[in-house]
């Protein structure tokens, strides 16, 4: 391995796609969610749940898979009002963690986004591309994480292996 | 010690000898040499043959401008057409000259020189037109060509492409670039400094100049060391900014990355500001036989003696029209080269220049008319510029300097304009089109002092534009000879018949340009295309402006009015591998897997892409089974018992909101809003010009939630289509779309025994036809897994599409195979699916839906709602239908010979004659139900021609086929509703 990094293809998380006005979402499910992030491309954390602000009237809730059923029970996607949308999408995304001293180098191969620590601050999250595939990229202490549509997961592994070999 | 190597000096490592081969012969050089410098040190004079006339050529330049000596590198990192001046010497290097046989010294292609009068520029355009240029092309290319591309990839390592971002990108680490980098770096800005040389310093590497009273290279070393300490500075050497694209995106080719497994790296740098400090390139003088081995750029001769301690000659004549050659003469003289004379076309020579060369004979107001010698220069013929007595000066080196051209290539690529500067007699940057600054010689600041100052100025300007307000900077002073030039575009030597070259690489002479002008190609871009001057590997770096000058003289125009040709990327050649990076082999194209991809592989499935980058099983062959036998077997399983296929790639979207029904009614031709929860309906989507763009089934989950499926290949396009409509046409409509293609995978169990198989899986869903009819769905558990079953059919058989979360898909699949085993269940690939849908006459995008057909053409007028006041594409279809144009309509074809296959796409013509086509075959399959080939076709007026015979016209015959309804199995749809 020519780059000093650690790559982890992560297990499935519980994911819920939330759309609609934040007021309406908070009214329906606010008590079950972290505080809504005040700025786009940022996230808030409560217990083990992350709520990421990823687009206009668009959020993603992420939690351990073990909480999926209970969250579904509390968020009640099937019965929420018409002006909001809550959809379980746990299986749609595959997450990869890239950490280690050379993580920025490998991410620079994969992603056209400016991931410099002075620009893409820790805790930020945004859509970009990874190896040409739409990806949800975030920056955390010690590395990066990105998620791609699940069906591309094997290809991303293939790419990463090529990048670090 | 090689014959032309100086005993001391140079920036070579004499403790590290390097052995190499050139044209099969062994030589020795030193670490720090280029192939060119090592050849010069070894006294090799003929290093190449010219492109067209196969004239002997030597080394002309010392960097990327080299026009003459291109080599082919052998071995692990084989490469073709590399300037010898850019090849770093390394142990075991093996190179050979291109375009010569059997060798550069003795080249049989040189016979072309005997007929050179008859093969001027453009001769092949006129001569080899009949009957077909391509008849002659191979032999012409063989006679005048370059090295072929390597036949094998590099033996080890890989290429890499990566992204980078910077506040300021600086192209060039000469005095101006380094000065700019120091100032920008010290401010804390993110700086990306790129230089094409193996060492920083630019022209300072080759010259003996002082900065602040110290050798300039000491200042360079200090600057490089300081930059290395800055975390905010990325500094690349042996790297070239080769393209400057929109929005300050620059492409950088790093040729020797530190990472040992990376052969070359391509950087895509997005910069806030760009400083072009790319230096200047010395241009040739134009006189007869100015291409002989031994004719060299003066700055290159200077570089070889100073930087490489290699003597390009022992007795030199210097020919110039500007001051810079005097310093070169002085350095050569100091190195031991006898300067026989300096020939200066200017009648008055500045004192500063004269001061450099005391004791050397100078002929002011004189020109070199031609060179003498054959395989190398033996002397030059000199005459007064205004005419007069000619005389000969013997020499083995002619160091020439026609002046300096700012390297405006990147600036021009950025769409900045250039203007002709009379003082410099060259084009300089004028108005930038992007956030671009020019500095140093690239900006026309030729001398060291002005280069340092303009580098600082550019850095301050760039910083100010980034919001970092800086007013001043300490700039060291440099010691240099002032620059002055009187342009000399060509030497007028009446009576000299030999060729005077403007472009050495492409063998373009003054006569060729005159010919182009006589033939009416008088725009400079046309002159370039006609003569090929300025094309090729070097892109005319040493000669382009001379072509412009000759055109200007011939047309009696100022150079500004002639203009410059467009500078295009790449500035220097770039490996394809570096551009592609790691994107090769298995990742050349994206690919997608479903959770049972591995299972498919284990079963020996033949996999291929089947839309939207999904790798799917085409078929599941058994040993000794033919393709057709496999497909037939899978088809029979579905028609006679049960099969299962993976339908996961179908695009799936959940739509939510109070306006969703209204939106679906707009994008589909039929009514969706009337669906009751639990029901589904097949629909067609049209584009605004009324043509079919997609089809699929929509389910109503509850009052406000809908599940829409699309074809696999169009999933992303339909998603964009819907979002575009909602964001641009209906921003007030409350519809929210969530892609759930990968949230729901499905295994579709189909065939007469499908119900029994699903029952055997175990489910709490009532599968009876009365309680679970066709085009409905139910939610529950199947095989112990949470599932949604949908009753749709793409095969025409009883089908259950069992949707589960991908995490459960493999489990479901394996349990289906187990449950269906008593019925002989088989997995079904795309090939069998294709057969089954053709037998049913179900349309397929890309086959029957070919971008011209509408619903009526496909016998689907029933799906065009008469109730809805409007929907997308309705008006266009109606308008088209009001016309009288003959339509191609979907029909079935049954070949008269049941064993005669019709190639898909084959044309139909009246009577099979050579006439205008009246349709095409969209699909043809072996029908296991009919035991014969059957086909679908789009045929003019096809609906009214059932029972007639159509004719498929092929190259080798005609296939007659009976026209039928486009359905060959269960025409009433009883089975799929069973």
Could you report the per-residue pLDDT of A59-71, keeping only the tens digit for each?
999 999 999 999 9
Looking at chain A, which residue has its C-alpha nearest residue B701? A78
| SS3 (DSSP) at B306 | helix
8 Å CB contact of B806 and A87: no
B417 and B275, same structural domain?
A: yes
**B83 sits in which H/E element:** strand B79-83
Q: In the predicted model, is pLDDT for residue B774 greater than 70? A: yes
Q: In the predicted model, is pLDDT for residue B486 greater than 90? A: yes
Q: Nearest C-alpha of chain B: how many angstroms from A85?
A: 6
DSSP structural state of residue B11: S
B327 falls in which pLDDT band (50, 70, 90)? very high
8 Å CB contact of A89 and B738: yes
Which residues have a Cβ under 8 Å from the Cβ of B623 and sit 6 or more positions away? none
Candidates B262, B587, B807; nearest CB to A159: B587
Within-domain flag for B961: yes
**B552 sits in which H/E element:** helix B544-555
| SS3 (DSSP) at B645 | strand
8 Å CB contact of B736 and A112: no
Please state the φ and ψ torsions of residue A122, each to the nearest 5 degrees: -60, 135
Instruction: Output the pLDDT for position B859.
Output: 94
- Exposed e or buried b for every residue in B474-505, given b needs 16+ CB within 10 A? ebbebebbebbbebbbbbbbeeeebbbbbbbb
- Which of A20, A68, A85 to mutate: most B Cβ within 10 Å? A85
Distance separating alpha carbons of residues B440 and B452, to the nearest angstrom:
7
Which residues have a Cβ under 8 Å from the Cβ of B143 and sit 6 or more positions away? B109, B112
Asked if A149 has any chain B CB less than 8 Å from its own CB, the reply is: yes
Instruction: Output the pLDDT for position B127.
Output: 83
Distance separating alpha carbons of residues B421 and B592, to the nearest angstrom:
57
Within-domain flag for B203: yes
Q: Nearest C-alpha of chain B: how many angstroms from A162?
A: 7
What are the residue boundaries of the structural domains of chain A, listed by start?
14-88, 92-164
pTM for this model (two decimals): 0.92
Q: Determine contact, residues B63/B75, Cβ cutoff 8 Å.
A: no
Within-domain flag for B194: yes
End of a domain among B83, B109, B135?
B109
Structure confidence by residue, pLDDT tens digits, B88-116: 999 999 999 998 888 888 888 888 888 88
Q: Could you tell me which residues are beta bridge partners of residue B653?
A: B708, B739
Please state the φ and ψ torsions of residue B21, each to the nearest 5 degrees: -120, 140
- Which of B163, B167, B234 to mutate: most A Cβ within 10 Å? B163
Within-domain flag for B756: no
Dihedral, CA of residue B487, residue B493, residue B494 and residue B500, to nearest 10: -90
Q: Determine contact, residues B205/B217, Cβ cutoff 8 Å.
A: yes
CA angle, B300 as apex, B53 and B322 as ends, to 5°?
A: 100
- Which of A58, A111, A151, A162 to mutate: most B Cβ within 10 Å? A151
Q: Nearest C-alpha of chain A: how many angstroms from B43?
A: 42
Distance separating alpha carbons of residues B180 and B75, to the nearest angstrom:
40
End of a domain among B94, B109, B124?
B109
Q: Nearest C-alpha of chain B: how many angstroms from A35?
A: 22
Query: What proportions of chain A, in percent to the nearest 5, are helix, strand and coil?
Result: 30, 35, 35
Quote the domain boundaries for residue B97: 13-109
8 Å CB contact of A114 and B165: yes
Looking at chain B, which residue has its C-alpha nearest residue A1? B261
Q: Nearest C-alpha of chain A: how many angstroms from B162?
A: 4
End of a domain among B680, B714, B739?
B739
B2 falls in which pLDDT band (50, 70, 90)? low
8 Å CB contact of A158 and B594: no
Instruction: Output the pLDDT for position B757.
Output: 98
Touching B: A residues 65-94, CB under 8 Å: 78, 82-85, 87-93
Q: Which chain A residues are within 8 Å of B736, Cβ to Cβ?
A: 19-20, 84-85
Place of tokens 């029909």: B891
Structure confidence by residue, pLDDT tens digits, B710-723: 999 999 999 999 99
8 Å CB contact of B658 and A90: no
Tokens of residue B99, six digits: 């375009």
8 Å CB contact of A153 and B743: no
Within-domain flag for B612: no
Asked if A24 has any chain B CB less than 8 Å from its own CB, the reply is: no
8 Å CB contact of B158 and A165: yes
Pairing mode of beta strands B338-344, B362-364? parallel
8 Å CB contact of A2 and B259: yes
Q: Determine contact, residues A18/A43, Cβ cutoff 8 Å.
A: no
Pairing mode of beta strands B158-171, B262-276? parallel
Candidates B259, B703, B806; nearest CB to A150: B806
Q: In the predicted model, is pLDDT for residue B270 greater than 80? A: yes
Question: What Cα–Cα distance (Å) separates residue A30 from each residue in A54, A76, B128, B588?
Answer: 17, 12, 79, 45
8 Å CB contact of B807 and A91: yes
| DSSP codes joined into one string, B327-362 | HHHHHHHHHT-EEEEEEES-SS--HHHHHHTTTS-E
Q: In the predicted model, is pLDDT for residue B372 greater than 60? A: yes
Where does A14-88 sit in CATH, by number? Answer: 3.30.70.1400
**B723 sits in which H/E element:** helix B715-724
Distance separating alpha carbons of residues B348 and B662, to the nearest angstrom:
87
Please state the φ and ψ torsions of residue B757, each to the nearest 5 degrees: -65, -45
8 Å CB contact of B657 and A82: yes
B33 falls in which pLDDT band (50, 70, 90)? very high
B163 and B254, same structural domain?
A: yes
Exposed (0-12), middle (13-18) or buried (19+): which is B867, by Cβ within 10 Å?
Answer: exposed
Pairing mode of beta strands B191-194, B233-236? parallel
Q: Nearest C-alpha of chain A: how many angstroms from B587?
A: 7
Q: Which of B362, B301, B352 is nearest to B331 (CA)?
A: B301
Instruction: Output the pLDDT for position B971.
Output: 95
Which residues have a Cβ under 8 Å from the Cβ of B745 and sit 6 or more positions away? B594, B595, B646, B648, B803, B804, B805, B806, B809
Mean of the per-residue pLDDT values of chain B:
95
Asked if A21 has any chain B CB less than 8 Å from its own CB, the reply is: no
Looking at chain B, which residue has its C-alpha nearest residue A16? B738
Please state the φ and ψ torsions of residue B6, each to the nearest 5 degrees: -70, 150
8 Å CB contact of A82 and B704: yes
Question: What Cα–Cα distance (Å) separates residue A69 from each residue in A88, B249, B320, B526, B594?
Answer: 10, 47, 84, 71, 24
**B759 sits in which H/E element:** helix B754-761
B54 and B163, same structural domain?
A: no
DSSP structural state of residue B852: S
- The domain that holds B198 is classified in CATH as 3.50.50.60
Structure confidence by residue, pLDDT tens digits, B183-224: 999 999 999 999 999 999 999 999 999 999 999 999 999 999
Q: Which chain B residues are within 8 Å of A75, Cβ to Cβ?
A: none
Structure confidence by residue, pLDDT tens digits, A10-45: 999 999 999 999 999 999 999 999 999 999 999 999
Q: Which chain B residues are within 8 Å of A149, Cβ to Cβ?
A: 592, 741-742
Q: Which chain B residues are within 8 Å of A88, Cβ to Cβ?
A: 743
Within-domain flag for B949: yes
Q: Determine contact, residues A81/A28, Cβ cutoff 8 Å.
A: yes
Instruction: Give the sheet arrangement for strand A133-140, strand by strand.
Output: A6-9, A93-99, A143-149, A133-140, A125-130
Q: In the predicted model, is pLDDT for residue B1 greater than 70? A: no
Mapping DSSP onto H, E and C, the string for B941-970 reads: CHHHHCCCEEEEEECCEEEEEEEECCCCCC
Place of tokens 């009614």: B665
Distance separating alpha carbons of residues B275 and B172, to the nearest angstrom:
9
Instruction: Output the pLDDT for position B4.
Output: 95
Touching B: A residues 118-147, CB under 8 Å: 118-119, 131-133
Distance separating alpha carbons of residues B227 and B752, to the nearest angstrom:
76
Q: Which of B397, B427, B399, B563 is nearest to B487 (CA)?
A: B427
Question: What Cα–Cα distance (Å) separates residue B457 from each residue in B80, B239, B277, B437, B461?
Answer: 41, 24, 12, 9, 6
How confident is the model over B876-882, as a mean pLDDT? 94
Number of structural domains, chain B?
A: 4
Pairing mode of beta strands B379-384, B366-372? antiparallel
Q: Which chain B residues are within 8 Å of A132, Cβ to Cβ?
A: 583, 590
Q: Nearest C-alpha of chain B: how many angstroms from A145?
A: 17
Q: In the predicted model, is pLDDT for residue B846 greater than 60? A: yes
Question: What Cα–Cα distance (Å) separates residue B19 from each residue in B77, B95, B835?
Answer: 17, 12, 65
B415 falls in which pLDDT band (50, 70, 90)? very high
**Domain A92-164 belongs to what architecture?**
2-Layer Sandwich (3.30)
8 Å CB contact of A162 and B705: no
Within-domain flag for B954: yes
DSSP structural state of residue B463: H
- Which of B262, B609, B656 to mutate: most A Cβ within 10 Å? B656
Q: What is the CA radius of gyration of chain A?
A: 16
Q: Determine contact, residues A43/A33, Cβ cutoff 8 Å.
A: no
Q: Nearest C-alpha of chain B: how many angstroms from A71?
A: 17
B411 and B266, same structural domain?
A: yes
8 Å CB contact of B658 and A83: yes
Distance separating alpha carbons of residues B493 and B473, to the nearest angstrom:
51
| DSSP codes joined into one string, B651-710 | EEEEEESTTHHHHHHHHBSS--TTPPTTBEEEEEEE-TTS-EEEEEEEEE-SSSEEEEEE
Looking at chain B, which residue has its C-alpha nearest residue A161? B582
Q: Which chain B residues are within 8 Å of A146, Cβ to Cβ?
A: none
8 Å CB contact of B742 and A150: yes
Distance separating alpha carbons of residues B353 and B474, to the nearest angstrom:
29
Instruction: Output the pLDDT for position B487.
Output: 97
Instruction: Give the sheet arrangement for strand A43-46, strand by strand.
Output: A43-46, A49-55, A58-64, A13-19, A85-88
Q: Nearest C-alpha of chain A: how many angstroms from B261?
A: 7
Q: Sign of the C-alpha dihedral, residues B104, B107, B109, B113? A: positive
A1 falls in which pLDDT band (50, 70, 90)? low
Pairing mode of beta strands B478-479, B210-211? antiparallel
Q: Determine contact, residues B52/B507, Cβ cutoff 8 Å.
A: yes
Q: Could you tell me which residues are beta bridge partners of residue A129?
A: A134
Q: Determine contact, residues B434/B357, Cβ cutoff 8 Å.
A: no
8 Å CB contact of B656 and A82: yes
């Amino acid at each position: 391995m020519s780059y000093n990094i650690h790559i982890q293809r992560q297990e499935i998380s519980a994911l819920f796609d939330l759309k609609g006005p934040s007021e309406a979402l908070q009214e329906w499910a606010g008590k079950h969610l972290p505080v809504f992030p005040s700025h786009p491309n940022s996230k808030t954390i409560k217990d083990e749940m992350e709520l990421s602000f990823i687009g206009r009237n668009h959020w993603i809730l992420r939690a351990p898979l073990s909480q999926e059923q209970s969250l579904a029970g509390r968020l009640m996607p099937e019965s929420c009002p018409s002006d909001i949308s809550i959809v379980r999408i746990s299986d749609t995304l595959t997450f990869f963690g890239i950490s280690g001293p050379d993580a920025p180098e490998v991410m620079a191969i994969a992603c056209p986004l400016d991931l410099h620590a002075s620009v893409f601050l820790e805790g930020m999250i945004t859509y970009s591309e990874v190896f040409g595939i739409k990806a949800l990229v975030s920056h955390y202490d010690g590395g990066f994480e990105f998620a791609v549509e699940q069906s591309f997961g094997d290809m991303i592994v293939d790419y990463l292996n090529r990048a670090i070999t | 010690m090689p014959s032309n190597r100086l005993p001391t000096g140079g920036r070579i490592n004499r403790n590290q000898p390097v052995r190499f081969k050139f044209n099969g012969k062994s030589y020795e050089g030193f670490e720090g040499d280029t192939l060119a410098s090592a050849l010069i040190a070894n006294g090799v004079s003929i290093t190449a043959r010219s492109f067209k006339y196969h004239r002997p050529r030597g080394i002309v330049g010392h960097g990327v401008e080299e026009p003459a000596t291109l080599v082919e590198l052998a071995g692990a990192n084989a490469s073709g057409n590399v300037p010898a001046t850019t090849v770093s010497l390394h142990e075991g290097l093996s190179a050979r000259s291109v375009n010569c046989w059997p060798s550069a010294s003795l080249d049989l292609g040189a016979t072309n020189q005997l007929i050179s009068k008859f093969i001027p520029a453009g001769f092949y355009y006129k001569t080899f037109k009949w009957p077909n240029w391509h008849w002659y092309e191979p032999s012409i290319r063989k006679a005048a060509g370059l090295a072929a591309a390597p036949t094998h990839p590099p033996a080890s390592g890989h290429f890499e492409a990566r992204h980078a971002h910077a506040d300021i990108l600086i192209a060039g680490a000469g005095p101006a670039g380094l000065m700019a980098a120091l100032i920008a770096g010290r401010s804390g800005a993110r700086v990306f400094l790129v230089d094409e040389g193996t060492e920083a310093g630019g022209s300072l590497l080759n010259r003996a100049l002082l900065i602040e009273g110290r050798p300039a290279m000491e200042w360079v070393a200090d600057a490089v060391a300081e930059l290395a300490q800055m975390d905010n500075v990325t500094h690349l050497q042996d790297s070239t900014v080769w393209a400057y694209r929109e929005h300050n995106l620059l492409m950088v080719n790093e040729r020797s990355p530190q990472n040992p497994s990376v052969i070359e790296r391509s950087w895509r740098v997005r910069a806030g500001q760009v400083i072009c400090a790319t230096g200047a390139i010395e241009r040739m003088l134009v006189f007869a036989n100015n291409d002989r081995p031994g004719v060299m750029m003066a700055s290159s001769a200077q570089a070889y003696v100073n930087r490489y301690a290699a003597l390009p000659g022992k007795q030199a004549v210097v020919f110039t029209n500007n001051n810079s050659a005097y310093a070169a003469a002085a350095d050569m003289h100091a190195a031991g080269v006898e300067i026989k004379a300096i020939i200066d076309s200017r009648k008055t020579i500045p004192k500063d220049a004269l001061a450099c060369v005391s004791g050397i004979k100078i002929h002011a107001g004189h020109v070199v008319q031609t060179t003498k010698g054959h395989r190398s220069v033996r002397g030059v013929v000199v005459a007064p510029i205004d005419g007069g007595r000619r005389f000969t000066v013997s020499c083995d080196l002619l160091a020439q300097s026609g002046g300096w051209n700012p390297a405006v290539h990147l600036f021009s690529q950025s769409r900045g304009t250039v203007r002709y500067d009379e003082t410099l007699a060259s084009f300089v940057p004028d108005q930038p089109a992007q956030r671009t600054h020019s500095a140093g010689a690239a900006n026309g600041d030729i001398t060291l002092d002005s280069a340092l100052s303009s580098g600082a100025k550019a850095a301050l300007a760039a910083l100010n534009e980034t919001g970092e307000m800086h007013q001043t900077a300490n700039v060291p002073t440099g010691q240099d000879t002032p620059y002055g030039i009187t342009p000399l575009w060509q030497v007028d030597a009446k009576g000299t018949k030999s060729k005077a070259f403007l472009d050495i690489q492409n063998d373009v002479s003054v006569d060729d340009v005159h010919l182009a002008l006589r033939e009416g190609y008088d725009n400079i871009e046309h002159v370039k295309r006609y003569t090929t001057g300025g094309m090729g590997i070097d892109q005319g770096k040493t000669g382009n402006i001379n072509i412009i000058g000759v055109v200007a003289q011939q047309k009696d125009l100022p150079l500004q009015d002639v203009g410059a040709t467009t500078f295009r990327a790449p500035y220097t050649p770039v490996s394809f591998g570096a551009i592609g990076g790691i994107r090769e082999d298995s990742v050349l194209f994206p690919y997608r897997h479903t959770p049972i991809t591995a299972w498919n592989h284990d079963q020996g499935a033949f996999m291929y892409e089947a839309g939207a980058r999904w790798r799917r099983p085409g078929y599941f062959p058994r040993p000794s089974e033919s393709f057709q036998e496999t497909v037939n077997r899978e088809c029979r399983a579905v028609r006679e018992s049960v099969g299962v296929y993976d339908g996961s790639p179908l695009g799936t979207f959940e739509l939510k909101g109070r306006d969703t029904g209204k939106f679906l009614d707009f994008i589909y031709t039929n009514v969706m809003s009337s669906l009751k929860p639990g029901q589904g309906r097949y629909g067609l989507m049209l584009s605004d010009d009324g043509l079919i763009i997609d089809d699929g089934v929509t389910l109503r989950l509850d009052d406000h939630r809908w599940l829409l499926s699309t074809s696999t290949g169009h999933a992303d396009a339909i998603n964009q289509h819907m979002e575009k409509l909602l964001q641009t046409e209906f921003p007030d409509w409350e519809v929210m779309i969530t892609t759930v293609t990968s949230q729901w995978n499905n295994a579709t169990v189909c065939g007469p025994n499908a119900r029994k198989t699903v029952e055997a899986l175990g489910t709490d869903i009532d599968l009876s036809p009365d309680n679970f009819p066709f085009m409905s769905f139910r939610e529950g558990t199947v095989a112990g897994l949470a599932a949604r079953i949908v009753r749709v059919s793409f095969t025409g058989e009883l089908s259950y599409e069992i949707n589960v979360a991908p995490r459960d898909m493999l489990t479901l699949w394996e349990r289906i195979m187990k449950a269906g085993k008593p019925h002989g269940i088989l997995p079904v690939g795309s090939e069998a699916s294709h057969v089954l849908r053709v037998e049913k006459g179900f349309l397929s995008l890309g086959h029957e839906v070919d971008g011209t057909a509408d619903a009526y053409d496909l016998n689907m007028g029933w799906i065009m709602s008469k109730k809805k006041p409007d929907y997308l594409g309705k008006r266009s279809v109606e308008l088209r239908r009001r016309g009288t144009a003959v339509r191609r309509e979907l029909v079935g074809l049954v070949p008269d010979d049941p064993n005669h296959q019709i190639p898909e796409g084959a044309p139909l013509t009246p009577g099979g004659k050579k006439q205008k086509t009246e349709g095409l075959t969209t699909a043809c399959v072996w029908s296991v139900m009919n035991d014969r080939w059957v086909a679908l076709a789009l045929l003019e007026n096809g609906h009214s021609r059932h029972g007639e015979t159509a004719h498929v016209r092929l190259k080798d015959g005609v296939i007659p086929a009976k026209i039928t309804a486009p359905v060959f199995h269960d025409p009433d749809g009883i089975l799929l509703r069973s």
